[in-house]
Amino acid sequence: MKKRAELIFIPSPGISHLVPTLEFAKHLINRDNRISITVLVMKLPPFSTSVDAYTKSFTSSHSSIQLIDLPQVELPSPELLKSSVESYLTLCIENNIPQVRNIVRNLVSAHSDDSDSVRVTGLVLDLFCVSMIDVANELGLPSYIFLTTNAGFLSLMLYLSTCHDKICTEFKPSDSDLSIPDFVNPVPVSVLLTSLFNKVGHAIFVKIAQRFKDVNGIIVNTFAELEPYAIDSISGGLNPPVYTVGPLLDLKGQPVPDSDEAKRQDILEWLDDQPESSVVFLCFGGGGSFSPAQVKEIATGLEQSECSFLWSLRVSPPNNEVSVIDQCTNHDHFPEGFLERTRGRGIICGWVPQIEVLAHKAIGGFVSHCGWNSILESLWYGVPIVTWPLYAEQQLNAFRMVKELGLAVEMRLDSRLNGDLVMADEIGRAVRTVMVGDSEIRKKVKEISEIGRKSLTDGGSSFVSMGQFIDLNF
C-alpha cells in the first residue's frame, strides 16, 4: 500500500502571506499525489476581506487542499494595533494556539487509525507563527518555517538570533553599518525594519529569530541562482537545512471583484494600444499610500520624465485614513493643469490587476514598494524595478536588489511611510533610467527571469530543493 503524508500549513493572517503559502501547497500536491495538505486559516479583521475572497476562489478550484477557517478569537485592544502591528499580530496568533493544538491533535489521532496509512508528517509555519513550534513538539511532529520573503531576510533573522546578546536593545539611526555574514556588503541600519528601532518591535523579532534554530528546516520563497552568496553561506554551519522553492507566484492573480471588471478592461485595452516597453507602472501594495504633497511630487516627476504611465494611487488624508482614487476627479491632488497636459499619456486609478499589468508587453518599468511578492512578479516577467520601499522588510529588499544583486534602479533605499518627501526630480530621473531600452539592468533582469522560470522545471534548483523537502515526509 502506498504510504501517504499530510502536512499542516499555518500561515499568518494576511493576503501577502497566504498567497505564496497556498502556491507552495499547490506545487507539493502537483508534484507528489501521496501528499495531502490542510491549511489552517486565521481570522484577523484588518486583513479578513481580501483573505475571505481569495480563499473562496481557491477552494472552488483546488479541492485537493483542505482549508479550515479558524473561529475568531478574542482580539487585542485596537490601541495595540496602532502602537505596534507586530505585537498585535503575534498576540492574535498566540491566542489561536489552543484551537490549533486541538485541530492538529484531532488530525493526528484520526490518521493513527486510518486504513489508508495517512500520517501527519509536520507543521509548516509562517515566521510569525513560530510560537506553534511548541504544538509540534508536544505532538512529536517535525516543524518547518516557511518564509514568504527572501534569503536576505533569513540572514538578518539568523544574525539577530546569534547576536542578541550584543544587540540586546533596539537599533539607533546613528549605529554603524552591520556586518551580516550572508551579505556581500555592509548593511546600513537605515535599511532595517522600522520595528527594530523600537524596544517592543526589536524584542519581538529577536524572540522570533531565536526560534529559527528549533525547526527541522527553513523553506524560502526564492531560487538559489537569485541569491547564491546568501544561500551558500546560510546552508553551512549550525543552521537548519534551507530549501529554496521559489519563485512561488499565483500567475492568475487575485479574484477580480465584479465592481472592478470594467476598470480591468479599460486598463488592459489602453495598454494594448501602447508600444512595447513604453509604459512605466507605479504601484505600492495594499498599504502604500501617499500624502497630497507627495502625490504632487510624483505627478510632477512623471510629467518631467515624458514617459507614458499607469499609476495605482492611494492618498492619505490628514486623518491617515487611506482613500483610493478610482477616478481622477479631484484636481486638488495634482499640480495645476497636470491632468490636461498628460491626457492620453497615462492612467491614474486605484485598483489594478498587477499580475496582468506586469505581464503586458507595454510595461517597461515598475516603480515599486519592493514587497517580495511584487519583486518576484516583476522578475518573472522581466520588468526592471525602481525602488521606493515604504514598510515591513521592503527597505532591506531594496538594498539587496540594488547593492547586492544589481537588479534594480535605485531611487530610495531607506524611505518610509510618512517620511521625507521624495522630490519630483528624483522620481523623473529614476523613471527615465529604468525605461532605457538597452540598459544593463534590463538585460540582467531578463536573464534572471529565464533562470527563475527554469528553476521550477524538472532538474531546476527549486525543483530539486522541493523534492528534497518532499523526501523528508516519506
Residue 256 lies in a domain: no
Alpha-helix runs per DSSP H in 171-252: 199-210, 228-234
Q: How much is the pLDDT for 329? A: 46
CA angle 123, 129, 132 (to 5 degrees): 55
Residue 124 lies in a domain: yes
Q: Are 211 and 136 in contact (CB under 8 A)?
A: no
CATH, residue 326: 3.40.50.2000
Confidence of residue 331 (pLDDT cuts 50, 70, 90): low
Across-strand partners of 309?
A: 280, 346
Q: How much is the pLDDT for 371? A: 97
Buried b (16+ CB within 10 A) or exposed e, 435-459: beeeeebbebbeebbeebebbbeee
| 266 and 182 part of one domain | no
| 438 and 380 part of one domain | yes
Residue 254 lies in a domain: no
For residue 384, what are the CA distances in angstroms to 160, 280, 346, 356?
31, 10, 19, 16
Confidence of residue 323 (pLDDT cuts 50, 70, 90): very low
Residue 253 lies in a domain: no
Render pLDDT for 176-220 as a digit per residue (tens, 0 to 9).
999 998 899 999 999 999 999 999 999 999 999 999 999 999 999
| 206 and 265 part of one domain | no
Q: How many residues does the chain have?
A: 474
Confidence of residue 253 (pLDDT cuts 50, 70, 90): confident
Asked whether the predicted pLDDT for residue 232 surpasses 90, the reply is: no
Residue 28 lies in a domain: yes
Is pLDDT larger for residue 107 or for residue 78? 107
| 327 and 209 part of one domain | no
Asked whether the predicted pLDDT for residue 86 surpasses 90, the reply is: no
In the chain, pLDDT over 70 holds for what percent of residues? 93
SS3 (DSSP) at 124 = strand
| 191 and 282 part of one domain | no
Is pLDDT larger for residue 101 or for residue 82? 101
- What number of CA atoms fall less than 13 Å from residue 160's CA on the CB side? 24
Range of the domain at 435: 261-451
Confidence of residue 2 (pLDDT cuts 50, 70, 90): low
Q: What is the per-residue DSSP string for 362-415?
A: TEEEEEE---HHHHHHHHHTT--EEE---STTHHHHHHIIIIIS--EEES-SS-
Asked whether the predicted pLDDT for residue 410 surpasses 90, the reply is: yes
Q: Residue 273: how many CB atoms within 10 A of its CB?
A: 8
Under DSSP, the state recorded for 291 is: -
| 238 and 340 part of one domain | no
Comparing CA positions, the residue from 391, 390, 427 lying closest to residue 409 is: 427
Q: How much is the pLDDT for 185? A: 96
Q: Which residues contact 60 (CB under 8 A, 6 or more apart)?
A: none
Q: Once rounded to an integer, what is the mean pLDDT over residues 47-61?
A: 80
| 437 and 365 part of one domain | yes
| 214 and 309 part of one domain | no
| 436 and 460 part of one domain | no
Render pLDDT for 128-141 as a digit per residue (tens, 0 to 9).
999 999 999 999 99
Helix 292-305 to helix 424-434 angle (10° resolution) is: 40
| 310 and 288 part of one domain | yes
**Cα–Cα distance for residue pair 373/54, rounded to 1 Å:** 16
Asked whether the predicted pLDDT for residue 222 surpasses 50, the reply is: yes
Q: How much is the pLDDT for 24? A: 98
The mean pLDDT value of the chain amounts to 91
Q: Once rounded to an integer, what is the mean pLDDT over residues 438-458?
A: 97
Render pLDDT for 118-171 as a digit per residue (tens, 0 to 9).
899 999 999 999 999 999 999 999 999 999 999 999 999 999 988 766 666 889
Q: Which of 8-17, 63-72, 313-322, 367-376 has the lowest mean pLDDT?
A: 313-322
- What number of CA atoms fall less than 13 Å from residue 200's CA on the CB side? 11
Cell 552568496 identifies what position? 229
Cell 546613528 identifies what position? 174
| 281 and 235 part of one domain | no
| 106 and 232 part of one domain | yes
Residue 252 lies in a domain: no
Residue 235 lies in a domain: yes
User: What is the total count of domains within the chain?
Assistant: 2
Residue 255 lies in a domain: no
Dihedral sign computed on CA atoms, order 266, 269, 270, 276: positive
Under DSSP, the state recorded for 276 is: T
115: amino acid identity, one letter: S
